[in-house]
Structure 1
Amino acid sequence: MIQVELKRIKTEAVTAVGMGTWGIGGKESPDYSRDRESVEALRYGLELGINLIDTAEFYGAGHSEELVGEAIKGFDREELFIVSKVWPTNFGYEKAKKAARASAKRLGTYIDLYLLHWPVDDFGRIGETLHALEELVDEGLIRYIGVSNFDLELLKRSQEAMRKYEIVANEVKYSLRDRWPETSGLLDYMKRENIALIAYTPLEKGSLARNPCLAEIGRKYGKSAAQVALNYLIREENVIAIPKAGSRIHLEENAGAMGWRLKVEDVEKVRGCV
């Protein structure tokens, strides 16, 4: 597996493709009839060696975190990397701490990386939240702090607001079809700062997996269109892609996006496919 180091995390690495859990845990099945299927999919991904799981308190009103907690039972916790997020309604010093503790309880474990899920207009609330998370690092409830959906200016302001620790990741929408992190300068800045970019919706809800141009390029490597689309993202050493943890077949395909690299001459061809 290709692994990447997060900023100033010197002793560990995470796989360049992780497992996203948006839509897992009640949203698509209010009667929870698909819970067992979701847990088994996550466990299969872990068995394949994918060690990062991304979740949030907002997903399934916390139920997704509960399913992640169930899925990781029996695995070596120190080999896993769990990401969760605090929703803007829980921003603020005391509310963020309470939310993090609730997430950790649902997960049944500490949180490796805790993110501010979405920005708000009041930067004071963002700053308060970041400072609360710094104290939670000291308490051992979370290990690292990050943000999500922050543009370049807001990322820089957040970095400046930190008192003791640093921003190690920014989770944003990024795919071959939606390359705004490249065009906005965000990706280049994060590379210089050695901040991990966690790319959600990397396959554009499956549409890139059905792209015939990507499939044609993939044949050169013995790979699928989806694997080409994911490899395009993770060819950057600081990028982690988190496609949804769906079926066993999709998880196998996602894992197969790692361990090889698009040739330079094919990168522009890939961009031209969308």
Structure 2
Amino acid sequence: MEFKTISGIEIPVLGLGTWHMGGDMSPDYSEDEKYIRAIKYAISKGITHIDTAEIYSGGHAEELVGEAIRQPAEKTHDRKELFITSKVWPSHLSYNKILEACENSLRRLGTDYIDLYLIHWPNPLASMKNAMAAMGELVKNKKIRNIGVSNFSIRQLANAQKYTKNKIITNQVKYSLASRNPERGLLEYCQKEDIFLTAYTPLAKGTLKRSKILENVGKKYGKTPIQVAIRWLIEKPNVITIPKASSKEHIDEILGSLGWKLKKVDQEYLSQQF
């Protein structure tokens, strides 16, 4: 695994996303064993950053993560070797509701602490001052270790920073070769402020795997379009990513994005072509 470090906090550049594992906005238990196996396999292969949220499948995704980390994997990992991220939904951004939401996530995950807890989306009707106070209380009480945000603009991120003494270590946003909005200032801001930009939907919901441009570049390195697309992201300063993978084959494929580098000319070519 490759890692990036910000303010002494080391995070794997490649995590496992769990959106749509165990359902959509409500639970679907029909493929639980499949998803538990996938999470366990990912951990056994060194993908120790697992990203989830209270809203994913109505909380069931957190339960699946909790079940997977409780069961022995092919290569056993202690809890301290895992980096678990979860998120609080914007309708829960009052002080007391954040504390309650975190307790519920901890219960579903079956763990004493969450490594990184994010505000999932900004809520213009909620008090950011109160929200950050609640996040700080969770850090103080060792319920969470780090705080972050998701889907925040530069203005919203800067506003959140004003109300906390704790380092906001990431802004998780949609970012891929096919979705470049963070390059309109947000990525640069995160780099300047020493904040991770965590890219979700890095494969543009699967559309990039069919790209002839990525296929042709990949041939030069013996890599697939998926591996090239992920590599393009994680070579950018401060960027890490959390693709979803629910089979051994897909997990192995995304792991193939590690351990090599794109030539600068190919990085620039890809940036220009999409």
The TM-score with structure 1 as length reference comes to 0.94
Offset of residue 31 of structure 1: 4.4
Kept in 2, the 8 Å contact 1:16–1:258? The answer is no
CA shift in 2, pair 1:214/1:159, >3 Å: same
The residue aligned with 1:119 is 122
Residue 271 of structure 1 deviates from its aligned partner by 2.2
| Separation in structure 1 between the aligned mates of residue 208 and residue 193 of structure 2, nearest angstrom | 30
Q: 1:204 to 1:83 in 2, by over 3 A?
A: same
1:30 Cα deviation (Å)? 5.2
* Alignment match, 2:132: 130
User: What is the correspondence of 1:30-45 to structure 2 with a 5 Å cutoff?
Assistant: 31-45=28-42
What amino acid is aligned across from residue 52 of structure 1 in structure 2?
H
Partner of residue 97 from structure 2, selected from 92, 95, 104: 95
CA contact (8 A) 2:152 2:171 kept: yes
Contact 1:92/1:125 (CA < 8 Å) preserved in 2? Answer: yes
Q: Distance between the aligned counterparts of 2:35 and 2:263, measured in 1?
A: 35
Provide Cα deviations, 1:191-222, integer angstroms capped at 9, x if missing partner. 11110111000001111011111011011111
Unaligned runs of 5+ in 2: none
Query: What's the counterpart of residue 176 of structure 2?
Result: 175
Q: Structure 1: give runs of 5+ residues left out of the alignment.
A: none
Q: Aligned residue for 1:191?
A: 191
Letter in 1 for 2:39: L
Write the deviation string for residues 31-85 of structure 1: whole angstroms up to 9, x where unpaired.
4110100010011111111111100000011000000001112331111100000
Is the 8 Å Cα contact of residues 214 and 273 (structure 1) preserved in structure 2? no
After superposition, the Cα gap between the structure-2 partners of 1:29 and 1:155, relative to the gap in structure 1 and judged at 3 Å, is closer
> What per-residue deviation string (whole Å, max 9, x for no partner) do you get for residues 137-172 of structure 1?
01010000000000111111111111x212111000
Give the alignment's Cα RMSD to 1 decimal. Answer: 1.4
Does the CA contact (< 8 Å) of 2:226 and 2:253 recur in 1?
yes
Query: How far apart are the structure 2 equivalents of 1:153 and 1:270?
Result: 29
Query: CA–CA distance in 1 between the matches of 2:48 and 2:123?
Result: 31
Asked whether the equivalents of residues 3 and 11 of structure 2 are also in contact (C-alpha less than 8 Å), the reply is: yes
The answer as to 2:47 corresponding to 1:46 is no
SS in 1 for 2:205: coil
Q: How many residue pairs get matched?
A: 268
Aligned to 2:83: 81
| 2:53 pairs with 1:56 | yes
Equivalent residue letter for 2:29: Y
CA distance in 2, matches of 1:120, 1:33: 33
Could you tell me which amino acid in structure 2 is paired with residue 179 of structure 1? R
Indicate yes or no: 2:222 matched with 1:222.
yes
Output the CA distance in 2 between the equivalents of 1:147 and 1:115.
5
CA contact (8 A) 1:14 1:51 kept: no
TM-score, reference length from structure 2: 0.94
Question: 2 CA distance for matches of 1:197 and 1:76?
Answer: 27
Q: 1:83 to 1:30 in 2, by over 3 A?
A: closer
Contact 1:202 1:241 in 2 (8 A): yes
Tell me if structure 1 keeps the 8 A contact 2:230–2:257. yes
What SS does structure 1 have at the residue aligned with 2:173?
strand
